[in-house]
């Protein structure tokens, strides 16, 4: 090639690069090859962005020059905002601010509600602690929503879309949590309240209140009742359903007591009411080989040792229906759950949402717990027992229901008894209420990014086989390659020894 053609080709390449950059600035395009389509915006997000009443301003407070894991989060959030701005046709305006550049900016970020995280940073073979800001402030008019912290690998799209939806909604739908029959208070389900409050106004409901107007509520929740429910309360629930209201029920039908080391049925009247609608809560405890652990204090040589043992009465559910209430869930623990069955009737269609593993069974209540019991294969001979259902009304304008055979799976407790609940447990309750109440479609985003993938339970013989395969396979492959290479070289040597051989 002569100098003239080389110059022409260089100019052509430069022109193509400039054109591509101009097009990239105007049209945001991203290919998503992830299994859960984490980097593809949902229809719900696009609907929100296409119907913004006015401009949304987003301040992203991110510390620069952080370790790789946090830098990736900053890049992902920036790309997400670029896509939001492109789809909204400029109605989403954003800026990135580094609060660590000076004390004034840092104070401004904290006053806005973005809280720093203290992380370890390695510099010149030394580890030092540094404040890291990774949050955002969403504002539309005089409405403001704060995302204090954007967790790495978390569901950024849900947090951002829910925040935009929250500042753009003038009147939130009402959700009522029924109280007065031994249910946990709203404070005792703090994680659930935190997520529901994004899109709903949640309040306690006393069915004995003479001024009560149930038509105000999109959905009522009856969670973990342990005391008798009066007949006239069930009558109010029937009227609520008949007028199109929806009902979420987490039924505490059986319960265990570690003080008495026993379990029994709780008689509240709820089981009888549900049975009239075709759903039967069994007077049994579900036991499952795929289960959680409990701490047990054991005496050994005069010492008290705390050990973890598997407790089949705490089934870990991984068998979910492909339904809105359970989409994206991977693992839910239901302590002291009761299985359920249904009979055909003219009022509801039933859809199983949660099922036990293929190694499960039942224990009739009442039952005495034997911590030292040796569980055997014959204790887990049943497969796929139903633990939650969606009840779809066959009658138009009559409300639907979701019923789960455990009342405490998403309860945090209060005071010193408070504890964090697994995100999927919280998501199951919130998703179920979303499914009954929400019309935005954000339910599909709540569990996006959750990756608690438990290891599959394997037999000991299978584990041993896999172990030996992992150990021997590389050795066998090396030996085979060595034999092949040796035979190939011998063949080449024999060819070279032939008269008239030409390389």
Model confidence pLDDT, tens digit, residues 173-212: 899 999 999 999 999 999 999 889 878 999 999 999 989 9
Count other C-beta atoms under 10 Å from residue 352's C-beta: 18
Hey, which CATH number is domain 19-166, 3.30.70.2520, 3.40.30.10, 3.40.47.10, 3.40.1010.20? 3.40.30.10
Residue-by-residue DSSP string for 199-249: T-EEEEEETT-TT--GGG-SEEEEE---SPPPHHHHHHHHHHHHTT-EEEE
d(CA 97, CA 94): 10
The residue ranges of every structural domain in the chain are 19-166, 174-446, 465-496
Q: Is the backbone peptide bond immediately before 54 cis, with ω within 30 degrees of 0? A: no
Greatest mean pLDDT among 193-202, 214-223, 368-377: 214-223
Q: Helix/strand/coil (H, E, C) string of 392-442?
A: EECCCCCCCEEEECCCCCCCCCCHHHCCCCCHHHHHHHHHHHHHHHCCCCC
d(CA 270, CA 73): 47
Tell me the two tokens of residue 1: 């090639």
Residue identified by tokens 């259902």 is 389
Contact 288, 315 (CB under 8 A): yes
Output the average pLDDT for the chain. Answer: 87
Contact 268, 225 (CB under 8 A): yes
Q: Helix/strand/coil (H, E, C) string of 68-97?
A: HHHHHHHHHHHHHHHHHHHHCCCCEEEEEE
Coil/strand/helix, residue 150: coil
d(CA 250, CA 403): 6
Burial class (CB in 10 A: 0-12, 13-18, 19+), 39: middle
Query: Which of 216, 136, 161 has the alpha carbon at shortest distance from 50?
Result: 161
d(CA 199, CA 196): 6
Range from 1-10, 428-437, 490-499 carrying the lowest mean pLDDT: 1-10
Count other C-beta atoms under 10 Å from residue 288's C-beta: 27
DSSP 346: S
Tell me the two tokens of residue 398: 């009559």
% residues pLDDT > 90 (the chain): 51
E-strand spans in 301-357?
Answer: 303-317, 319-320, 332-333, 340-342, 348-355
Handedness of CA 374, 378, 379, 385 (dihedral sign): positive
d(CA 432, CA 427): 8
Burial class (CB in 10 A: 0-12, 13-18, 19+), 231: exposed
Q: What is the mean pLDDT of residues 378-407?
A: 95
Is pLDDT at 124 greater than 60 in this prediction? yes
Strands 262-265 and 254-257: antiparallel
- Between residues 15 and 182, which one has the greater pLDDT? 182
d(CA 489, CA 429): 67
Give the pLDDT band (50/70/90) at residue 217: very high
Angle value at C-alpha 25, between 21 and 28, nearest 5 degrees: 110
User: Can you give the pTM of this predicted structure?
Assistant: 0.72
Query: Which of 406, 421, 283, 410 has the alpha carbon at shortest distance from 353?
Result: 406
Q: What is the mean pLDDT of residues 232-243?
A: 96
Rounding to the nearest 10 degrees, give the CA dihedral for residues 325, 326, 332, 334.
50
Query: Which of 270, 237, 239 has the alpha carbon at shortest distance from 252?
Result: 270
Q: Tell me which architecture the domain covering 174-446 has in CATH.
A: 3-Layer(aba) Sandwich (3.40)
pLDDT per position as a tens digit, 259-317: 899 999 999 999 999 999 999 999 999 999 999 998 877 666 667 777 888 999 999 99
Range from 2-16, 33-47, 90-104, 133-147 carrying the lowest mean pLDDT: 33-47
d(CA 207, CA 179): 8
Question: Phi, psi at residue 36, to the nearest 5°?
Answer: -100, 15
Coil/strand/helix, residue 443: helix
d(CA 69, CA 501): 60
Count other C-beta atoms under 10 Å from residue 305's C-beta: 10
At 180 the pLDDT is: 96
pLDDT per position as a tens digit, 91-122: 999 999 999 888 899 999 999 999 888 887 77
Contact 240, 214 (CB under 8 A): yes
- Chain Cα centroid distance, residue 120: 28
DSSP 173: P
Contact 181, 227 (CB under 8 A): yes
Tell me the two tokens of residue 256: 């265990």
Helical H runs in 94-171?
A: 103-112, 156-168
């Amino acid at each position: 090639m002569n100098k003239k053609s080389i110059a022409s080709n260089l100019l052509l390449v430069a022109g193509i690069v400039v054109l591509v950059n101009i097009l990239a600035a105007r049209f945001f395009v991203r290919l998503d090859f992830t299994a859960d389509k984490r980097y593809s915006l949902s229809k719900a997000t696009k609907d929100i962005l296409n119907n913004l009443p006015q401009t949304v301003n987003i301040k992203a407070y991110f510390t620069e020059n952080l370790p790789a894991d946090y830098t990736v989060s900053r890049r992902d959030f920036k790309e997400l905002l670029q896509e939001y701005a492109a789809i909204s046709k400029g109605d989403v305006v954003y800026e990135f601010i580094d609060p660590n550049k000076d004390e004034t900016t840092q104070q401004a970020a904290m006053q806005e509600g973005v809280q720093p995280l203290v992380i370890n940073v390695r510099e010149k073979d030394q580890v030092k602690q540094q404040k890291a800001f990774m949050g955002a402030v969403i504002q539309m008019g005089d409405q403001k929503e704060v995302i204090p912290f954007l967790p790495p690998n978390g569901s950024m799209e849900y947090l951002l879309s829910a925040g935009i939806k929250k500042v753009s909604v003038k009147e939130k739908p009402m959700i009522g949590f029924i109280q007065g029959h031994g249910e946990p208070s709203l404070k005792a389900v703090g994680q659930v309240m935190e997520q529901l409050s994004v899109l709903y106004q949640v309040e306690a409901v006393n069915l004995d209140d003479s001024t009560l107007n149930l038509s105000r509520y999109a959905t009522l929740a009856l969670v973990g009742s342990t005391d008798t429910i009066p007949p006239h309360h069930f009558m109010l629930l029937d009227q609520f359903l008949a007028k199109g209201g929806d009902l979420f029920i987490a039924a505490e039908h059986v319960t265990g007591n570690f003080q008495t080391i026993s379990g029994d049925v709780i008689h509240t009247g709820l089981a009888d009411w549900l049975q009239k609608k075709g759903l039967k809560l069994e007077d049994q405890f579900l036991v499952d080989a795929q289960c959680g652990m409990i701490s047990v204090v054991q005496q050994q040589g005069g010492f008290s040792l705390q050990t973890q043992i598997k407790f089949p009465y705490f089934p870990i559910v991984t068998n979910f229906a492909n339904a809105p209430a359970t989409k994206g869930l991977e693992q839910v623990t239901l302590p002291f759950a009761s299985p359920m069955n249904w009979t055909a009737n003219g009022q509801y269609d039933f859809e199983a949402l949660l099922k036990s593993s293929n190694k499960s069974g039942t224990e009739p209540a009442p039952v005495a717990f034997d911590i030292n019991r040796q569980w055997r294969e014959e204790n887990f001979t049943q497969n796929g027992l139903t633990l939650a259902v969606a009840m779809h009304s066959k009658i138009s304008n009559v409300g639907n229901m979701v019923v789960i055979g455990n009342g405490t799976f998403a309860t945090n407790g209060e005071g010193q008894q408070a504890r964090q609940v697994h995100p999927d447990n919280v998501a199951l309750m919130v998703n179920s209420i979303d499914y009954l109440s929400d019309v935005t479609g954000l339910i599909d985003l709540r569990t996006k990014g959750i990756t608690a993938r438990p290891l599959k339970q394997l037999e000991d013989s299978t584990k041993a086989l896999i172990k030996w395969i992992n150990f021997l396979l590389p050795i066998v492959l090396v030996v085979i390659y060595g034999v092949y290479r040796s035979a190939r070289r011998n063949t080449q040597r024999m060819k070279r020894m032939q008269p008239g051989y030409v390389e």
